[in-house]
Structure 1
Amino acid sequence: MEIDFDTRQEAAEFYRRLPSSLRQVTGVMLINSRLAVFPEKTTDYKEFAQLIARYICERYEKKWVMAIIENYYYFTDPEEQVAILNIVSAIFAGEKNDLPQTEVLEDRRTIIMDSLEGILQEHHSVSFTSIVRFRLTAYRKALRRYVEIAIDEYKLEQEYQVFIDKLRRIIRAYKPLCEKIEVYDEQPFKLYDERHHLIRNIQSVRSFYPILKQWGIEAEPSIVLSLIALAPKQVIVYTDRPDHGVMKTLHRVFEDRVCFVPSSLHLTSGNRVSQ
């Protein structure tokens, strides 16, 4: 079997990436811009297909993803393109498995291999350029699906950031109603003022939800909005889950006003004073 490359340099680059063990087993030879391969069994074809798939991903994938982002979905701003590309890369790396629909995505290298194995076994001579241009339709379609999911996530992240920015501005725009609030991460959350008095009816403190509507925010009651209604100068949160989504949102909104402390350090219930 022979694989023809456009240039000797490209052939040599691919040859150098081959494991020495595979070169010996399959008798790979570099001849100008061609690789001569002498696989002995079906598993050799499979391993060779895996190597070609990896080479294609490493050499072309980023460029193709960027082209899809710009030419199919019309994102032309470089910063937006890079942000979407980073999300795609995170999906490839398995770091975004919690995103909707990622669980049904096929592994893109498996798609390439499925396209390659038959070609390698059925043809005595193949053109690498022809493979890249004409034989990877399913793979390119899969890349578009990855990009679609990444764009949806990017838009959600942008909306979330706008939401966070509005909440920060609200905190800065209104006078704090208390110096310090202590939050106990329980079911439900409990809030205490600086005198350790339980804050019971937070919404009665300030006509807060009409204020939110003035800022263009439609939201359900939450611990985050409750704290914003009080706009304390300092928030101490007793929790054993500082990486939880709610805690991350609190940190983004209140920034250096918030401090997370292990639950074991909070006052015992006997020391709390309830109103």
Structure 2
Amino acid sequence: MEIVFETAQEAVDLYRELPAVFRQEAGVLLINSRLVIFPATEADFGELAFLISRFIIEKFERKWLLDIIENQYFFSEPEEKIEILSIITAIFAGEKNDLPQTGTLPDKRQLIIESLDGILSEHSTFTFQSILRFRLTAYREVLRQFVEIAIDEYKLEQEYQVFIDKLRRIIRAYRPLCEKIEVLDEQPFRLYDDRHRLIRNVQSVRSFYPLLKQWGIEAEPSIILTLIALAPKQVIVYTDRPEHSIMRTLHQVFEDRVCFLPGDFHAENEAGLQ
């Protein structure tokens, strides 16, 4: 089998990606801009397909993703492209498992391997460019779908940051009504004033919601908006789930006004007051 490359450097790059053991067992020869390979078994063909797929992903995938982002979805600002690309990278690394759409897409590496199945075993000579141009349609379509998912996530994150910014500005714009609020993370949340008295008329803060509309905020009642309505200078949250999305949002909105303590700290404080 002979693979012909556009440049000698491309041939060298792939040659270096092949493990020494494979090069020896499959009799790989580097001749100028060509690789001559003598795979002897089905396992050799399978390993070669895997190694070529890894080479394609490492060498071309980032460039193709950026091309899709810019030329198919028209994001041309460098910062936007990098943000979207970072979301895609997180998806590939398994760090965005909360996006259910990603679970329905086929494995991108397997698509490349399947596209190589015929050409490696049935052609004695072919160009590497023919693989890139004609054999990777399914793989590149999956890349486009990942880009689409990432762009949707990027837009949601942008909207979320606008929402957080508005809430921060509300806090800064209005005079605090109390010094401190303690929040006990239970179902439902329990709120205590700075004299450690349970705040029972939490529902009364709903009168604050028409004011929120003046800021362009349409939202259902929540612990976050309740605290904004009460406008404390300090918020202490007793919780055993500081990484939960609600807690992260509280931290982003109230910034240095909020601190988080373990839930059992509240029980100890109550015992000390009795």
Corresponding residue for 1:190? 190
Is the CA contact (8 Å cut-off) linking 1:39 and 1:45 kept in structure 2?
A: yes
Structure 2: stretches of 5+ with no match in the other structure: none
Is the CA contact (8 Å cut-off) linking 1:69 and 1:81 kept in structure 2?
A: yes
Tell whether 2:117 aligns with 1:97.
no
- Alpha-carbon deviation of 1:107? 1.4
Tell whether 2:117 aligns with 1:110.
no
- Alpha-carbon deviation of 1:100? 2.7
Corresponding residue for 1:29? 29
Identity of aligned residues (%): 68
> What does the per-residue CA deviation read over 1:154-211, in whole Å, with 9 as the maximum and x for residues that have no partner?
0000010000000001101111110001000111110001100011112425730011
How many residue pairs end up in the alignment?
273
- Alpha-carbon deviation of 1:142? 0.6
Corresponding residue for 1:71? 71
Corresponding residue for 1:82? 82
- Alpha-carbon deviation of 1:92? 1.2
Measured on the aligned residues, the alpha-carbon RMSD in Å equals: 1.4
Structure 1: stretches of 5+ with no match in the other structure: none
Distance 2:176 2:271 in 1: 28
Corresponding residue for 1:15? 15
Residue aligned with 1:179, SS: strand
Distance 1:26 1:67 in 2: 35
Letter in 1 for 2:11: A
Tell whether 2:236 aligns with 1:236.
yes
Distance 2:47 2:261 in 1: 52
Is the CA contact (8 Å cut-off) linking 2:29 and 2:35 kept in structure 1?
A: yes
Distance 1:105 1:237 in 2: 40
Residue aligned with 2:99, SS: coil
TM-score, normalised with respect to structure 1? 0.96
TM-score, normalised with respect to structure 2? 0.96
Within a 5 Å distance, the mapping from 1:1-275 to structure 2 comes to: 1-205=1-205, 207-268=207-268, 269=270
- Alpha-carbon deviation of 1:237? 0.5
Is the CA contact (8 Å cut-off) linking 2:115 and 2:136 kept in structure 1?
A: yes
Is the CA contact (8 Å cut-off) linking 1:197 and 1:272 kept in structure 2?
A: no
Shift of the 256–9 alpha-carbon distance from structure 1 to 2, 3 Å rule, reads same
Letter in 1 for 2:109: R
Which structure 1 residue ranges, 4+ long, deviate > 6 Å from structure 2?
none
Is the CA contact (8 Å cut-off) linking 1:203 and 1:229 kept in structure 2?
A: no
